[in-house]
Amino acid sequence: MFKSIRLSLLAGCIAATCQAWAAPAGDLPLMPWPQEVNRPAAEGTLQIDNAISIKISGDKLPGAIDRWRQRISQQTGWQLQPAQANSAKPTIDIQIKKAIAPLPKLDSDESYELSVTADGVKLTANTRFGAMRGMETLLQLIQNGPDNTAIPFVSIKDQPRFPWRGLLIDSARHFMPIKDILRQLDGMAAAKMNVLHWHLTDDQGWRFASTAYPKLQQLASDGDFYTQAQMKEVVRYAASLGIRVVPEMDLPGHASAIAVAYPELMSAPGPYQMERHWGVLKPLLNPTNDAAYKFVDTLIGELTAIFPDSYLHIGGDEVDDEHWQKSTEIQAFMKQHNLADTHALQTYFNQRLEKILEKHHRQMMGWDEIYHPDLPKSILIQSWQGQDALGAVAANGYKGILSTGFYLDQPQSTAYHYRNEVLPQGLNGVDEIADADSAQSWFFSMPRLKGSAVEGSFTLVNGKTTWRGFIDFKGKSRRAVRDIEWLSPTQVKFTVDTWMGETRPVLTLDKDKLSGYLLVGNVRYPTTGQKLDAVPDGIQPVVPTPEQMSNIIGGEAALWAENVASPLLDIKLWPRAFAVAERLWSAEDVKDIDNMYQRLQAIDAWSTVSVGLQQHAAAAEQMTRLAGSTEIMPLQILAQAVEPAQYYTRQHLKFQAGNYHHFEPLNRFADALSAESNQVRALDAWVDKLIADPEDGNSADSLRHTFARWQSNTPDVLELINGNYQLKALKPVAENVDKLAGIGLRLTDLVAKQGNLSADEVQGIQKQLDDAAQTQDEVVIAAVYPLQKLLRASVK
């Protein structure tokens, strides 16, 4: 008898307040979590040794058995015995029902069934692509235990939730060598992602070789570009892993590189030079020039000869229309063709572009800005503007995918990406205010380091027994907030996921004035405002009908490269991309955060050993350079307490300093760090347990041990900091971590002994926490926030 352990909501949970979700039974280290997992009541394992054998029937997968055997060898450390040809009783029996063409497609069948019993492993799939996905699941199940290497008895039925599960890699802003691209394909396959979206052109560089227009690579690439043979190599290798490759050629904007090589195609005469700065820039192709369409037609022909996928991405985003507006020739053209504005002009360009793509048997794909009812329903919209934009696309019969909330170039917690549901969600009545409710609404303004202030309002509703609330950011739809907590009669905090990341306002509402800060990720942004006389109307989320929802076919993680160079690629992508992959593959109700982190830790180790991803090796290399020695433990211990400044804070700081450009070195301590500190997460959990039970000696001891380690590390890390000018700005960070460790030791003892602090002591410690929370050298001491909890628990 098997017991089902498919994840689902605990019975009786109320959507607005439920925190407890059913978790996978046992400790299977699987990610993405399969649709259905069953374990036998009498759990057992299939012990394996170096005589393990693999057999494939029903289709030919050249090189697959050798690749999988190598992976098993890496996971176990064994020298495997020579492979047996056509073994009568293989350890792993892979049966594919139908032989098909080797190139993956949007509608490729990726389902599989996996059974592990005492008789061996049986993997069945309708196609080669399902077999590939099933083998990744099996490889995750191979465990080196206390007594042997074994695979747990299990029965799995699995298929993806969405057919489009992509990763965008930006090779235009910082060039990514082929070996690094190939390694990311290995990681994608391990995470069951199936689309590499390759961003090949942008203002700062043209990265694919053109035979017809060679000045593109000669003048606009700094010598860093892919040959046609190299791109074909990527396509071949990706196909062998069941991954499609969709190239992006950004048109008509993000075109500074084109302007350098062929200025005669542009909307303004130039002259043009290689663009070194990041941002939205002005050069645009001239949509009134027939030569521009011949140029695009020829390049699309070259791309389709390399990339066989049915989609070709034309970008289309962030068109600054200044050059169009200032051109008398273009303005006359618009008048002649009854084009009301430059958006209509861009649509005219896209209509002609779509015909060119159709001629080459390709479907148009682009960002939100290309969406227009005059384009055919065959186009695919990739949304960076969010679920509302995606919902509108789907409601109007167009297909779309989501990238908002999956930007991995931004340091964000994995939990934030994991909570990012692809399908638009309604408010479930959270903003319906009954007669018995009392509500208060507040306007707020949060200045940013670059760009306009973030403004809006929030409303807190006292439902007599519980608080609920919602927030209205200017120009965006209403969102429910969660975890409302009144810290005092006038101070409140709550949490909401926004396009900026997890956002946690900590605000003082004193009479009619608002003050405090919005904690965006881990960075404090001072905020002011005032009370409103009435609850604002707000904008309701765009939620398509269930039938229209089927137009939303998946999503893509995005790794933009302003702050990412090739040595940092793995640090930024892995293991977080596995959590995005799970959101796109697994059932919607697979969403337990704690369980996700538990499995992610196992997958982090597995992907390093089995897949060969380099997130840990790359971080160690960066720290070795900074330390000038292989003795990097002091920096690694310091890294436990800090995180890179999250959201776009690092980019905005570089912009303020005049360093937001290609030559700004990505050589800081912040660049060597993963997006979040696992140690701070552990601290936070120990603090919660200690506050809930002051007699929890294990949590108290764990906190003391961590704080003592940080204190004892201070002399060693300061010696390294003083020895390298690239670390000098970190000195206040190291000194603050030392002070915070001392505060942590004291507060831990106070909470454990149920003592309390005087008002003056609380004020003094609070000031030290506030000072230590400030961004320094693009990092934040994230340990401030567990300590803030301890401080509040020390006030009776």
Q: For 384-415, how does the pLDDT look when each residue is reduced to its tens digit (9 = 90+)?
A: 999 999 999 999 999 999 999 999 999 999 99
Tell me: the pLDDT tens digits for 455-470? 999 999 998 889 999 9
Give CATH 3.30.379.10 domain extents, the chain: 29-156
Tokens of 351: 């209509």
Q: How sure is the predictor about 17, in pLDDT bands with cuts at 50, 70 and 90?
A: very low
pLDDT recorded at residue 14: 29
Distance, in Å, from the CA atom of 48 to the CA atom of 600, rounded to the nearest integer, reads 25
Give CATH 2.40.128.120 domain extents, the chain: 438-531
Q: Which CATH class is domain 164-422+551-559?
A: alpha beta
User: Which of 318, 621, 664, 761 does the annotation list as catalytic?
Assistant: 318
Distance, in Å, from the CA atom of 372 to the CA atom of 350, rounded to the nearest integer, reads 10
State the alpha helices, DSSP H only, in 161-316: 178-190, 215-219, 228-240, 256-261, 290-306
Instruction: Answer for the pair 383, 472: CB distance below 8 angstroms, yes or no.
Output: no
Distance, in Å, from the CA atom of 668 to the CA atom of 299, rounded to the nearest integer, reads 39
Tell me: the pLDDT tens digits for 355-393? 999 999 999 999 999 999 999 999 999 999 999 999 999
Tell me: the pLDDT tens digits for 542-582? 999 999 999 999 999 999 999 999 999 999 999 999 999 99
pLDDT recorded at residue 694: 95
Amino acid at 428: N
For the CA atoms of 569, 570, 575, 581, what is the dihedral angle to 10 degrees?
A: 60
| Range 444-456 burial, b when 16+ CB lie within 10 A, else e | bbbeebeeeebbb
More confident residue, 149 or 26: 149
The answer to whether residue 704 scores a pLDDT higher than 90 is yes
Look at the block and give the residue holding tokens 């008898």: 1
The answer to whether residue 2 scores a pLDDT higher than 90 is no
- For domain 438-531, give the CATH number: 2.40.128.120
Give CATH 3.20.20.80 domain extents, the chain: 164-422+551-559
Distance, in Å, from the CA atom of 170 to the CA atom of 615, rounded to the nearest integer, reads 18
The answer to whether residue 790 scores a pLDDT higher than 50 is yes
pLDDT recorded at residue 234: 98
The answer to whether residue 15 scores a pLDDT higher than 60 is no
Distance, in Å, from the CA atom of 241 to the CA atom of 257, rounded to the nearest integer, reads 32
Q: How sure is the predictor about 8, in pLDDT bands with cuts at 50, 70 and 90?
A: very low
Tokens of 358: 């159709």
Q: How sure is the predictor about 31, in pLDDT bands with cuts at 50, 70 and 90?
A: very high
| Range 201-232 burial, b when 16+ CB lie within 10 A, else e | bbbbbbbbbbeebeebbeebbeeebbeeebbe
This prediction's pTM? 0.95
Structural fold of domain 29-156 = Chitobiase; domain 2 (3.30.379)
Tell me: the pLDDT tens digits for 52-104? 999 999 999 999 999 999 999 999 999 999 988 778 899 999 999 999 999 99
Tokens of 647: 């959201």
Amino acid at 582: E
Q: Is 329 a residue of the active site?
A: no
The answer to whether residue 510 scores a pLDDT higher than 60 is yes
